[in-house]
């Protein structure tokens, strides 16, 4: 039998724990006690696990470890032996009652709880801004499985010696310099090319162009120069280039080319503006990269290089990473349409336009490639899909665009310009602006141009002065081009700087990726075509390997790169899930432990034996006698469903709530608190009336799911209501009509947690395995979301923190800051004050100062690690110092004082900080080599808990891939965790297990999610901040300070309903 975990750990003092044994060899468990001492001790036994199947489950201990207490008493004998296979279903066992909200972790005296920061001088390194790898692979596992990854190993590289690096610069030629307009090139492109080169070409170098030529024109100029000069002179040799700023060759370029440069007219590169400007392109030698010796040895054996104790990266390893990526992508960028920095799209075969997404868009399937420096160099290959604008007539595209819009459908006709409302015109311009258009007039050649505007007047009414006097577009085309417009009242397009062309003669050119956000319907269509099971996904990847054909790539051959044609296989460990704690349905003073099944999905309603571990009725601040949660109904605009359907829905909600211990007011009483709202201005009044009736929550029935009502409801209830807080739970009308039990259950999860309850908790005993939460720790999640480049909205920050031991209520703070494309950094501004406030909240809630701070930071790319580490890490430390400088800080932690642990203010407050970047934007995928044995779900994905921390991870810093969820459809994507900093020097097992366990603490569902709950909550917080900003006027949106004043919630609301944003 597996080792059992203890039955009970009393909340506060409890009796002494004289340890006996850990169970005999037969597997039965014995007592495990800890010594007596002040406060909470480890009491109780490690009970035997329940047996189900060939192998018994681990029985988990009750409650959480408490702060304080010396440890005396021995551990007793050895643990019992392990049995056979693990059960496949969830296992529920009884456990004694314990109030989770009042149980605290141990504050252990000793090295693990000592304060103190590690110097960051080691990270002041341009070659590698992160601390070197200090952790070996983890060892914890439930089992080991074999995986195939979508990586191809780069075989022993035979790098040429040396490699020449050239820089490209473009300026107006001498004849055009009278315009005094200099093309300024600099570093600093943000993700997506917001500051610079955008999506034209491969962007491993960062470029910012403040004046013409624009980035796409820059690429065409560079391509023309390279084709005419380099390829002509060296037709048997090849080069690597990003077509923007960098050229890498294995030979010196012709000195004449370097000295003189090259003049090129815009007419040679098919510029649509009609400009006659001539540009001068200069190519300058920057450096020679010597690959012989140390660099050659290192790059072929990266893992061994660092495991042998080499802490420093070779000087040119970072440059070599860039060179290899450019070499791989040079040929692909010539053959296919590049999108972003890593994806390339061939035209759909057989004249096919692509999978129709609706609204004038189609999906193109392509390939993504990127070279990564793992323990060896690897070429990662994956499928890529993106929306392209469909090749068709502009009129047809406009019809499809408006047909996909529920509000504008049948109201707007591109053949009738007068039918265009302001919103319709904005939608059409957003779709067409920047789009390349072709048109042909009579026998003239096909002309092209880019849409810069849509005229508000139709062709018949838009007048201008021509050579013969004033005329209109319709008459001009009839007189000069002998074209009689079929739709003289139709819209006209402005192309480039001056051309005005009727839309009916225009056609959208092929191969133009769409830059905007997809609609909900288009997203659904995209998922339909792209969410394929692992078996299909790996087949597509193998097809892409054939497509890119690295064996015949002349650039790779020139640089001595040979790519393995077989996908890399590796071993992965599968971590055991945590044990979860629920209330017992048959005894309100008891609890039950639940061990999730291997697929990470469980059902608390399966046998009607589980309650919420802490129903909200026992915690809410404003409640009726008897603990009933009083609530009402607010129907929006009109009765999208009748009252009978609403009653049936809330009756089912009430029935299910009762079955899990949540005491909601009876539906008959709820229907008496019924408000109907027809205008957004009526929202606050309706919420006030419900609040005056004693309602804590309003169930809001929306006509449909969109941004017309939802943001205003949330802003009214969470911001405007101020000191009289009332929660809202929004439901779409069709959901009420369907009244599906599973949906009602999910709604109930959100209601309970919003009202202050706990759906379930994590059993305390698993933390003994990882040695992290045995001391007061503040766990934080942080995210920054950025709007589109043309958006008037700011960047939004959300930071969440769990300020008590349960790990359930995450307090959230939000703020707006300048967009990154307006000169602001990607980092969080004012993080020091946010951290200070969370530290003080933790002390007020627990009576202890945090000894450790662990932050999971979302939204950070590889190129931003150094900036985030050196900015946000220092801000976190400043926040700790700000807290420690408060006059009464050292006396606030009452429990610390009782333990006799009062630090001297002279030492300063320095909790150990661990900073982890959480990444979902990567291309690594896992495929089980034995899916019938190891796979889970209908698609047979790798199981939750699958972790890879060897081979494909970085050799020179600490990172790992963790697949923590079972995908609903398609191929599950693991999350990458990069350790940016770790004062505590946690082991790999500690951090990996903590990351996995936190994926089970997302309260909105009964399944493990794809990344830790703190970052999930931060993402929800940023989304809620976005909802608030959607309600603000343009005047407010023009001032960041005004925005932040407008979106702040009252302290009463945040204190009463800390989890309102879920």
Angle, CA of 983, 989 and 991, to the nearest 5°? 45
Segments in 729-823 forming alpha helices (H): 733-738, 741-754
- Say which residue, 736 or 900, is predicted with more confidence: 736
CA dist., res. 702 & res. 637, Å (int)? 8
pLDDT category at 95 given cuts 50, 70, 90 is: low
According to the model, what pLDDT value does residue 876 have?
Answer: 95
Helix (H), strand (E), coil (C) string for 190-213:
CHHHCCCCCCCCCCCCCCCCCCCC
pLDDT over 60 at 212, yes or no: no
pLDDT over 60 at 473, yes or no: yes
CA dist., res. 668 & res. 672, Å (int)? 7
Ranges of beta strands (E only) in 111-162 are 143-154
Which range has the worst mean pLDDT, 406-410, 735-739, 925-929, 1009-1013? 406-410
pLDDT digits 0-9 by tens, 1000-1048: 999 999 999 999 999 999 999 999 999 999 999 999 999 999 999 999 9
**Segment 629-657 mean pLDDT:** 89
Does the CA dihedral 411-412-417-422 come out positive or negative?
A: positive
Query: What is the edge-to-edge ordering of all strands in the sheet holding 492-495?
Result: 499-502, 492-495, 447-454, 436-439, 506-508
Q: Which two tokens stand for residue 728?
A: 């809202």
Do residues 296 and 159 make contact, with C-beta atoms less than 8 angstroms apart? yes
According to the model, what pLDDT value does residue 125 have?
Answer: 52
- Which of 104-108, 766-770, 1020-1024 is modeled with the greatest confidence? 1020-1024
- Please count the other Cβ atoms lying within 10 Å of the Cβ belonging to residue 691: 18
CA dist., res. 1037 & res. 274, Å (int)? 38
Q: How buried is 891 (Cβ within 10 angstroms: 0-12 exposed, 13-18 middle, 19+ buried)?
A: exposed
Q: How buried is 64 (Cβ within 10 angstroms: 0-12 exposed, 13-18 middle, 19+ buried)?
A: buried
Q: Which residues contact 973 (CB under 8 A, 6 or more apart)?
A: 920, 924, 925, 963, 967, 1010
**Segment 680-685 mean pLDDT:** 93
CA dist., res. 439 & res. 509, Å (int)? 10
Quick one: which H or E segment has residue 225? helix 215-225
pLDDT over 60 at 964, yes or no: yes
According to the model, what pLDDT value does residue 17 have?
Answer: 36
Q: Which residues contact 544 (CB under 8 A, 6 or more apart)?
A: 367, 381, 382, 383
- Which of 117-131, 521-535, 577-591, 809-823 is modeled with the greatest confidence? 521-535
According to the model, what pLDDT value does residue 272 have?
Answer: 58
pLDDT category at 537 given cuts 50, 70, 90 is: very high
Do residues 947 and 960 make contact, with C-beta atoms less than 8 angstroms apart? yes
**Segment 312-335 mean pLDDT:** 85
**Segment 658-668 mean pLDDT:** 91
Q: Which two tokens stand for residue 443?
A: 């026998």
Which range has the worst mean pLDDT, 50-64, 81-95, 278-292, 848-862? 50-64
561-587: burial string, b at 16+ Cβ within 10 Å, e else: bebbeebbebebbbbbbbbbbbbbbee
Which range has the worst mean pLDDT, 134-143, 166-175, 314-323, 355-364? 166-175
- Please count the other Cβ atoms lying within 10 Å of the Cβ belonging to residue 331: 20
pLDDT over 90 at 378, yes or no: yes
Q: Which residues contact 957 (CB under 8 A, 6 or more apart)?
A: 128, 130, 131, 132, 133, 978, 979
Q: Which residues contact 532 (CB under 8 A, 6 or more apart)?
A: 540, 970, 971
- Say which residue, 765 or 605, is predicted with more confidence: 605
What percent of the chain has a predicted confidence (pLDDT) above 90?
Answer: 44
558 in the Ramachandran plot: left (φ > 0), alpha (ψ -120 to 50) or beta? alpha
**Segment 846-851 mean pLDDT:** 89
Beta-bridge mates of residue 382: 368
Do residues 1058 and 1017 make contact, with C-beta atoms less than 8 angstroms apart? no
Q: How many residues in total does the chain contain?
A: 1062
- Please count the other Cβ atoms lying within 10 Å of the Cβ belonging to residue 871: 17
Q: How buried is 227 (Cβ within 10 angstroms: 0-12 exposed, 13-18 middle, 19+ buried)?
A: exposed
**Segment 158-174 mean pLDDT:** 82
pLDDT over 60 at 97, yes or no: no
CA dist., res. 1025 & res. 1030, Å (int)? 9
C-alpha pair distances (Å), 261 with each of 257, 308, 570: 5, 47, 49
pLDDT digits 0-9 by tens, 3-47: 333 333 333 233 333 333 333 333 333 333 333 332 332 333 333
pLDDT category at 976 given cuts 50, 70, 90 is: very high
Placement of tokens 């302001």 in the chain: 422
Angle, CA of 94, 95 and 100, to the nearest 5°? 130
pLDDT category at 402 given cuts 50, 70, 90 is: confident
pLDDT over 60 at 769, yes or no: no
Residue 583: phi and psi, rounded to 5, are -80, 155
**Segment 673-679 mean pLDDT:** 91
39 in the Ramachandran plot: left (φ > 0), alpha (ψ -120 to 50) or beta? left
Q: Which residues contact 672 (CB under 8 A, 6 or more apart)?
A: none
According to the model, what pLDDT value does residue 1038 have?
Answer: 92
Which range has the worst mean pLDDT, 89-98, 385-394, 589-598, 688-697? 89-98
Segments in 980-1056 forming alpha helices (H): 988-998, 1013-1030, 1034-1037, 1040-1046, 1051-1056
Q: Which residues contact 264 (CB under 8 A, 6 or more apart)?
A: 221, 224, 225, 278, 279, 281
The residue among 826, 618, 741 whose CA lies nearest residue 195 is 826
**Segment 930-949 mean pLDDT:** 94
Placement of tokens 């169970």 in the chain: 23
- Say which residue, 1015 or 351, is predicted with more confidence: 1015
According to the model, what pLDDT value does residue 780 have?
Answer: 97
pLDDT digits 0-9 by tens, 850-874: 989 999 999 888 888 888 888 999 9
Q: Which residues contact 135 (CB under 8 A, 6 or more apart)?
A: 958, 979, 987, 988, 991
Q: Which two tokens stand for residue 734?
A: 């069709």
According to the model, what pLDDT value does residue 506 have?
Answer: 93
pLDDT over 50 at 732, yes or no: yes
């Amino acid at each position: 039998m597996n080792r059992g975990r203890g039955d009970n750990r009393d909340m506060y003092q409890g009796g002494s724990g004289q340890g006996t044994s850990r169970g005999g060899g037969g597997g039965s468990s014995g007592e495990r006690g800890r010594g007596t001492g002040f406060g909470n001790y480890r009491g109780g036994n490690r009970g035997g696990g329940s047996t189900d199947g060939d192998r018994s489950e681990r029985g988990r201990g009750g409650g959480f470890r408490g702060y304080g207490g010396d440890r005396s008493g021995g551990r007793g004998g050895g643990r019992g032996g392990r049995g056979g296979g693990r059960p496949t279903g969830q296992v529920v066992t009884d456990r004694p009652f314990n109030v989770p909200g009042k149980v605290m972790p141990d504050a252990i005296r000793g090295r693990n709880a000592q304060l103190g920061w590690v110097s960051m001088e080691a990270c002041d390194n341009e070659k590698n801004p992160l601390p070197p790898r200090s952790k070996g692979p983890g060892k914890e596992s439930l089992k080991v499985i074999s995986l195939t990854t979508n990586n191809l190993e780069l075989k022993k590289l035979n790098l040429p010696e040396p490699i020449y690096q050239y820089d490209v610069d473009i300026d107006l030629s001498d004849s055009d310099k009278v315009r005094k307009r200099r093309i300024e090139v600099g570093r600093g492109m943000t993700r997506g090319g917001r500051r610079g080169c955008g999506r034209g070409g491969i962007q491993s170098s960062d470029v910012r162009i403040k004046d013409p030529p624009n980035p796409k024109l820059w690429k065409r100029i560079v391509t023309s120069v390279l084709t005419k000069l380099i390829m002509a002179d060296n037709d048997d040799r090849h080069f690597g280039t990003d077509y923007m700023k960098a050229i890498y060759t294995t030979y010196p370029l012709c000195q004449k080319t370097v000295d003189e440069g090259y003049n090129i007219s815009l007419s040679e590169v098919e510029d649509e503006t009609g400009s006659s400007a001539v540009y001068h392109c200069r190519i300058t030698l920057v450096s020679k990269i010597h690959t012989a010796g140390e660099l050659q040895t290192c790059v072929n054996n990266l893992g061994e290089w660092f495991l042998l104790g080499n802490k420093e990266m070779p000087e040119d390893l970072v440059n070599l990473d860039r060179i290899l990526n450019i070499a791989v992508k040079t040929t692909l960028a010539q053959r296919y349409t590049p999108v972003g920095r890593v994806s390339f799209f061939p035209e759909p075969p057989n004249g096919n336009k692509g999978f129709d997404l609706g609204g004038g868009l189609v999906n193109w399937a392509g390939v993504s490639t990127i070279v990564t420096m793992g323990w060896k160099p690897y070429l990662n290959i994956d499928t890529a899909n993106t929306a392209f604008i469909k090749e068709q007539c502009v009129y047809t595209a406009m019809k499809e665009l408006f047909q996909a819009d529920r509000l504008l459908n049948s109201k707007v006709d591109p053949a009738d310009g007068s039918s265009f409302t302001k919103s319709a015109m904005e939608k059409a311009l957003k779709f067409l602006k920047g789009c390349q258009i072709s048109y042909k007039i009579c026998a003239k050649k096909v002309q092209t141009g880019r849409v810069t505007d849509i005229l508000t007047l139709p062709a018949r009414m838009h007048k201008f002065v021509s050579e013969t006097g004033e005329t209109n577009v319709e008459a001009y085309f009839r007189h000069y081009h002998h074209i009689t417009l079929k739709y003289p009242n139709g819209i006209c397009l402005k192309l480039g700087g001056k051309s005005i062309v009727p839309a009916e003669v225009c056609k959208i050119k092929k191969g133009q990726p769409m830059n905007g956000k997809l609609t909900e319907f288009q997203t659904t269509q995209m998922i339909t075509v792209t969410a394929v099971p692992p078996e299909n996904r790996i087949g597509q990847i193998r097809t892409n390997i054939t497509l890119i054909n690295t064996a015949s790539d002349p650039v790779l051959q020139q640089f001595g790169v040979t790519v393995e044609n077989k996908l890399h296989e590796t071993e992965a460990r599968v971590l055991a899930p945590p044990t979860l704690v629920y209330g017992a349905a048959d005894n309100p003073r008891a609890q039950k432990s639940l061990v999730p099944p291997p697929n990470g999905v469980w059902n608390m309603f399966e046998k009607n034996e589980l309650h919420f571990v802490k129903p909200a009725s026992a915690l809410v601040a404003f409640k009726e006698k008897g603990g009933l949660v009083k609530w009402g109904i607010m129907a929006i605009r009109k009765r999208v469903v009748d009252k009978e359907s609403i009653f049936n829905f809330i009756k089912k909600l009430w029935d299910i709530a009762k079955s899990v211990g949540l005491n909601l007011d009876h539906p008959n009483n709820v229907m008496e608190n019924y408000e109907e709202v027809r205008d957004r201005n009526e929202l606050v009044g309706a919420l006030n009336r419900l609040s005056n009736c004693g309602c804590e929550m309003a169930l809001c029935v929306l006509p449909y799911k969109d941004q017309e009502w939802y943001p205003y409801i949330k802003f009214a209830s969470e911001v405007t209501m101020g000191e009289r807080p009332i929660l809202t739970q929004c439901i779409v009308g069709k959901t009420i009509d369907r009244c599906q039990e599973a949906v009602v259950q999910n709604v109930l999860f959100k209601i309970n947690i919003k009202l202050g309850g706990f759906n379930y908790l994590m059993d305390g005993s698993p933390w003994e395995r990882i040695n992290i939460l045995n001391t007061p720790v503040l766990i934080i999640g942080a995210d920054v979301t950025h709007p589109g480049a043309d958006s008037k909205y700011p960047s939004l920050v959300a930071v969440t923190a769990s300020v008590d031991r349960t790990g359930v209520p995450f307090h959230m703070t939000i703020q707006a800051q300048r967009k990154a494309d307006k000169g602001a950094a990607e980092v969080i501004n004012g993080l020091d004050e946010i951290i200070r406030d969370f530290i003080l909240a933790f002390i007020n809630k627990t009576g202890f100062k945090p000894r450790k701070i662990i932050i999971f930071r979302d939204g950070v790319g590889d190129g931003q690690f150094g900036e985030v580490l050196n900015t946000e890490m220092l801000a976190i430390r400043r926040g700790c110092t700000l807290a420690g400088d408060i006059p009464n800080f050292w006396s606030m932690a009452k429990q610390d004082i009782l333990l006799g642990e009062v630090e001297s203010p002279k030492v300063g407050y320095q909790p150990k900080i661990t900073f982890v970047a959480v990444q979902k934007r990567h291309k690594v995928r896992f495929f089980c080599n034995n899916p019938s044995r190891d796979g889970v779900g209908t698609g047979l994905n790798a199981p939750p808990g699958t972790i890879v921390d060897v081979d494909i991870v970085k050799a020179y810093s600490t990172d790992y891939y963790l697949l923590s969820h079972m995908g609903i459809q398609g191929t599950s994507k693991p999350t990458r965790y990069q350790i940016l900093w770790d004062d505590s020097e946690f082991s790999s097992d500690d951090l990996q297990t903590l990351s996995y366990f936190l994926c089970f603490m997302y309260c909105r569902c009964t399944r493990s999610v794809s990344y830790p709950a703190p970052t999930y909550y931060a993402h929800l917080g940023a989304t809620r901040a976005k909802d608030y900003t959607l309600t603000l006027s343009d005047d407010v949106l023009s001032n960041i300070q005004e925005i932040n004043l407008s979106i702040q919630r009252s302290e009463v609301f945040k204190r009463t309903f800390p989890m309102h944003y879920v």
